[in-house]
Structure 1
Amino acid sequence: MRIVIADDERTARARLRRELSEMANVEIAGEATDGLTAVAQIRALRPDLAILDVQMPELDGFAVLRALEPAERPAVIFATAYDAYALDAFRVHAVDYVLKPVDGEQLRSAVDRARAQIDARTDEVRLRALLDEALASRGGLAPRTDHGADRLLINTDGRLVPVRVEDIDWIEAAGNYVRLHVNKSVQMSRDTLTAMEKRLDPTRFARIHRSAIVNLDRVKELQAWFSGDFVVLLTTGERLRLSRSYRKAFESRFGRRKE
């Protein structure tokens, strides 16, 4: 397991190094003393786990996660002197939240939980790939990489459930999950928005925001918003912000779709 440590306190980093060095199959891939460096190291080193302080210069631990795309985020353990952020850690799906000074046994338990989570993710990916291949060979669902698929397999509560692509209204990121809005219902899937986008036909679906993808057949109109931004109004009545960074690509793809 490759780990990046991010903490602005030298003694705290030294303590983490000492405790981690006593654990089997653990490699400290990098260290950071501020949030911006942590983001850069996570992107460059692609660790399995990041151990983050909450209060750091430049970016705090939560801002580090927000700066990363869902697909870039490793498993996370927060190590901090403050217990007031435990609920926030839960909301961003942290593996654990340990208080300083870090206790060796608590850290070991947290790392073991992270290892189990990482192994479970790997098993899920393998299982979905095998099921996709089996269903495709039987004439059921198209493989994950085939944009012509009329259904998608999504991982919901440990079950793989097929969803009709044409029934999807829009999709939003939700931490380590995506939330699919399907015929006025919501389905949660353990996936990233970037991975989901790759599975969808780009002539039928478009990214409108860092955290949202829409079915082009559900787009009713664009409405002017503040500061040059626009809102996408769906036929379902929902209004979603169109980010300026995605506007040109969205309008181009939407135009091609309607030609």
Structure 2
Amino acid sequence: MSTERIRCLLVDDEMLARLALRQALAAHAVDVVGECGSADEAMQAIAQLQPDLVFLDIRMPGMDSFELMQRLQPDTLPLVVFATAFDAHALKAFDAGAFDYVLKPIDQERFDRSMDRVTRQWRRLAVDHQAPRQPLFAATPSVERLSVRVGEALRVLRVGDIDWIAAEGNYVRLHAAGEAILHRQTLQQLHGQLDPSRFLRIHRGTVVNLDRVSEIHPLFHGDAEVVLRDGTRLPLSRRFRDGARVALGLR
């Protein structure tokens, strides 16, 4: 970890809220290395960027922020500061392992006090973490195989063989090697079990295997299209664009 500037990730589904955080951080030795609009995107970005500090909103579409916190080790980096308009969740946030809690709209004086505490803790960690960095995510391992019912039998499917996954209500459709197999699990549940460095959510109802991505085609109004190696075309929505930018190295 660098001892000069804190590497920070902003997670909030409102662009103006992320802008307010950037402005509040301007007076501090912080580099904003990424922005995310959901906890799902944050899972991907944290795995890719390994930030020192994460500002995390509580109420966002998709995965709840507390679910994300359950997959983060509270005693290791990154430090997490909740930034939210709702003060009712403060106790729960600290119980989940948050380092601090600031309210929106941001009061600069209170924010600066929080950042002073963050900086002191970060410097202590810089000394303590001379050994190799501990894993960011909790001990629950990503699944490598799925048992999928096909007719009367259970087929064991290697996760790495999956090209992409589509949501169908309380089910998902697993697309692998030219087959489309229905599996009884929600997309959110399954995505939470997958390796975030290998599987990316690109749309409300779509997760893609990053190893299968061949091209990205920009469309109108900030949307884009993901093209897989087999020619499959899938929409990349604006909501998940920041996570894709991190995972795919988009500029």
TM-score in terms of structure 1 length: 0.47
Which structure has more RCO (C-alpha within 8 Å, separation ≥ 6)?
A: 2
- Computing the radius of gyration from Cα coordinates, the structure with the larger value is 1
Q: Higher helix share goes to which structure?
A: 1
TM-score of the aligned structures, taking structure 2 as reference length: 0.48
